[in-house]
């Protein structure tokens, strides 16, 4: 079994449930057992909901925030990156675009 690895970039406008569901679907497509995919989905929601909510609050205040959280299981490793109000260079935007695909 290969280790499922993914980086998930989110901001204050991200829909936590659809993002978590998308990662779960990708994990299943990559061969992650359904029980592990369900555990990953639950962990993602547990992390994404408060991160996105806090990102909205900080974004409304005009703040800039960059937070990374790593979720690990026996068969997966997912890094969640929250960016609010960040000004990204062209190279950073291209890198993120490539990482998403």
Contact 81, 66 (CB under 8 A): yes
Residue 22 in this model has a pLDDT that exceeds 70:
yes
Name residue 83's beta-bridge partners.
66
Predicted local confidence at residue 65, as pLDDT: 79
pLDDT tens per residue, range 62-76? 777 788 999 998 899
Separation in Å, CA 99 to CA 18, 31, 92, 93:
18, 20, 10, 10
The rounded radius of gyration (Å) of the Cα atoms in the chain is 14
User: Phi/psi class of residue 26: alpha, beta or left (left: φ > 0; alpha: ψ in -120 to 50)?
Assistant: alpha
What is the pTM (predicted TM-score) of this model?
0.77
pLDDT tens per residue, range 29-39? 999 999 999 99
Contacts with 91 (C-beta within 8 Å, 6 or more apart), sequence order: none
Predicted local confidence at residue 97, as pLDDT: 72
């Amino acid at each position: 079994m290969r280790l499922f690895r993914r980086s998930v970039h989110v901001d204050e406008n991200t829909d936590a449930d659809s993002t978590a569901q998308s990662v779960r679907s990708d994990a299943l497509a990559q061969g992650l057992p359904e029980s592990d995919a369900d555990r990953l989905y639950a962990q993602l929601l547990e992390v994404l909901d408060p991160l996105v909510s806090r990102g909205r609050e900080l974004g409304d205040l005009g703040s800039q925030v960059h937070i990374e959280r790593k979720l690990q299981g026996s068969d997966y490793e997912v890094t969640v990156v929250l960016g609010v109000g960040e000004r990204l260079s062209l190279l950073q935007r291209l890198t993120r675009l490539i990482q998403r695909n």
